[in-house]
Amino acid sequence: MFTHLSFRAERKSTIITIDLSFERWNEIFGDPVLTAAIVDRLTYKAYLVNMNGNSYRLKETKEWISAQNN
């Protein structure tokens, strides 16, 4: 991922969605230095959109389960 992001830096747009905050990315990559480098590349000249709110998938799943039980 680091190599891919480094190659794309300032050349192409990249969209990444994840439900973990940057502080928890070390749990994924396991190396704090690599994690910091990846976050640095991703956030340089970036627009960060924090999308907190109700999950549409969870709502639809609950509706689907409810419909199955009726």
**Tell me: the pLDDT tens digits for 8-63?**
877 888 888 888 888 899 998 899 998 998 888 888 888 888 777 788 888 899 89
d(CA 44, CA 68): 47
- The CB-based long-range contact list for 12-20 (8 Å cut-off, 24+ gap) reads 14/42, 16/42
pLDDT at residue 21 in the model: 85
pLDDT at residue 12 in the model: 80
